Each structure stands twice: as structure tokens, then as C-alpha cells.
Amino acid sequence: MQLKPFLIAEATRLGFLRARVASVHAPVDMSHYDAFLAAGWHGEMDWLATSRDARAEVARLLPGARSVLTMAFDYTRALPPDPGGLTGRVASYAWGRDYHNFVTKRVRRLQRSLNRSFPGVDSYAAVDSRPVYERAWAARAGLGFTGRNAFQILPGDTCSFFIATLFVVAEMEPDAPLGDHCGACRRCVDACPTQAILPSGGLIANQCISYLTIEHESAVPRALRPKLGRWVFGCDVCQDVCPHQSQRRLPPEETLPTNAWLNLPELVVMPDDALAARFVGSPIRRAAGERIRRNAAYALGNLHDAAALPSLEVARREGGLVADAAEWAIDHVRGRE
């Protein structure tokens, strides 16, 4: 079998929704990336700037690379019923296990199959945490198109998928990129609570709820706190309103949304070690600790429910970032903010 059909068949067998190929002979266009950095929209994510050159030059990652296989791993699922009360919401990609682990394991298996069947064909794999401009390579390969909300979107299917990339030192016939399928649609622009999506397309990341609840390490600007709503970790708004988003459910092994909704009074006072244990194997552990308690306090404030006051009073005694968030939330609940 030739390399391309072999890799696509293996990727499908390993659970990837779709796989496409692009040539790496020409570098990806970094103009949007550079403009994003120049505007400071990356906020505290300094690693986006320090890894810029590696993202621009594949040869730094895999000398002799000629092609890239881009793969979509679906996490589309319906939101479990809202339990109401003092609960906060988590972005759907983080409901279950950490994708860095389980998607990377599948790509490693793909590499092992490649090594057995095509010895001598070197490869380099990445799933989000390596300096690869995944979305640009996916767009070139026709693995969806880059939507106005900066997500890759499979037209008429989903915009909820992880991207995995596998660079190889071999030629493969490239697939064609897709054209724009957003058209005049502005649903994501209009729905974004913090106006983080540009009407022309692109994201002001340091204004995005996902950034603010996960990556932002200091206090969230006061003007943005009410706009966080009940979000404790991430945000799904721009995906939920996308007309291309389906409500297809995942295979059984991935349908364990244990963290879709979180108990906020419990979360806001939970010690660091208990939080770390609570979110073992979850992407939420990235922010577990002070940031999660801060987010829980903001969410409690936005619920305007006096039942939140006892736990907020406890959190206010912690000091630092959490105390500031709890103080704001108490004032918000009492109508003083």
C-alpha cells in the first residue's frame, strides 16, 4: 500500500474523524500570527511568541520533512442537563480526560505502525503542546476551514475537534484546501460575551473567556468579570451558535462528561491538594488551584444568589487573588458592584 492511504486508514482505525494531507515545501503564512502577536492579543501566553520561529520553520522540528498528515479527533457532544443552583459550566473539550494524553497516545500508535510498515520514514508528531501551527496546516490540507471564530470547522459537521499533526520525510499527494464557509454569518461575533471575535475573523485572545479562565494568571479586569457568566473553565459560546455544529454524540468510551457542571461553593473553598486530586487526568488541572477558585468566585457573583455568601466569606479570608475575587462577588451578590 502507498503511504498516504496507509496513514489515512490507520488514522481512521485509531478513531480520528477525518485525515488530510498537505505539502510542507512552502512555509505556512505567518502574517496573521505575527499581527496577532504584534497587537498583544496573546496576553500572558508568552510561549506563543517564543515558539514563533519553530512554528514557521518545519525543518527545525523535522529536517527533511516533505508532507504533513493533519487529523481531526471529534469531541462533539450534547450538553448534559443544567443542574441549576450554584453550579458553574466547563467547556466541552474538558468534560472528560485530558486530550493531550489520549489523543497523543493514538498518534504514537500511528507512528509505530508507520515505522513497522515504512521503515526509514521519519516523523514528528504534535498534539497542541508542541510548536506547530496546527490550524494553518489543517487549513492547507482541507481539514476543515478556519472560521470567523478562529476554530477549524468541518462544514456541516462540527467545529469541536482536536487537531493532531504528523510530519513525515516523504512525499504524499496533497489534498485541496476548502474555501470559506462562513459567508456573511456573524453568529459567533454577535454571541461572544466579551466581543473577542473580530467581525473580519480572528480572535482577541486576551479578551476571550477561555483565555481569561485558563491562561490569565492575575485578576480578571473588573469590566469583564460580569461577562464571564457561569464559565469556570473555558467557553463554548462561539461553537454552540455555529450553524456547522452538530449534536452528534461520541463513541461510548468518550461519553463521560463528569466535569460538565461543577459545584461552585465546594470549588471556591477547596484546598490546592484537593483540587489537584479532584481533577487528576482532566485538562482542568491546568488551572486547578488559585485560578479555579478565582473563577468559581466570579461565577458565584454572577449568579446573584445570597446562598453563595457563606462560601464566599470563607474564600475572602484566603487572601490574594481569591480574596479579591470573593470580595467582588460578595459585592455583586449584594448589589453593590
pLDDT on residue 1: 73
What is the phi-psi region of residue 327: left when phi exceeds 0, alpha when psi lies from -120 to 50, beta otherwise?
Answer: alpha
Which residues sit opposite 145 in a β-bridge? Answer: 153
CA angle, 130 as apex, 17 and 198 as ends, to 5°?
A: 75
What is the per-residue burial (b if ≥16 Cβ within 10 Å, else e) of 237-268?
bbbbbbebbeeeebeeebeebebbbbebbebb
Cell digits of residue 159? 467545529
Hey, what's the torsion of the CAs at 147, 150, 152, 154, to 10 degrees?
A: -30
Residue numbers in the chain where pLDDT is lower than 50 = 252, 255
φ, ψ for residue 125, nearest 5 deg: -110, 150
Q: Which of 34, 128, 240, 272 is catalytic?
A: 128
Q: How many CA atoms lie within 13 A of 188 on its CB side?
A: 29
Please write the tens of the pLDDT for every residue from 247-275: 665 554 554 557 999 999 999 999 999 99
Place of cell 514528528: 124
Contact predicate 294/266, CB 8 Å: no
User: How many angstroms separate the CA atoms of 94 and 233, rounded?
Assistant: 8
Find the distance separating the first CA and the last CA of the chain, reported in whole Å: 66
Output the 3-class SS for 111-160: HHHHHHHCCCCCEEEECCCCCCCHHHHHHHHCCCEECCCCCEEECCCECC
pLDDT on residue 257: 54
| 324 is a catalytic site residue | no
Please write the tens of the pLDDT for every residue from 58-117: 999 999 999 999 999 999 888 889 999 999 999 999 998 888 889 999 999 999 999 999
pLDDT on residue 319: 86
Between strands 123-126 and 161-168, the pairing is antiparallel
pLDDT on residue 145: 95
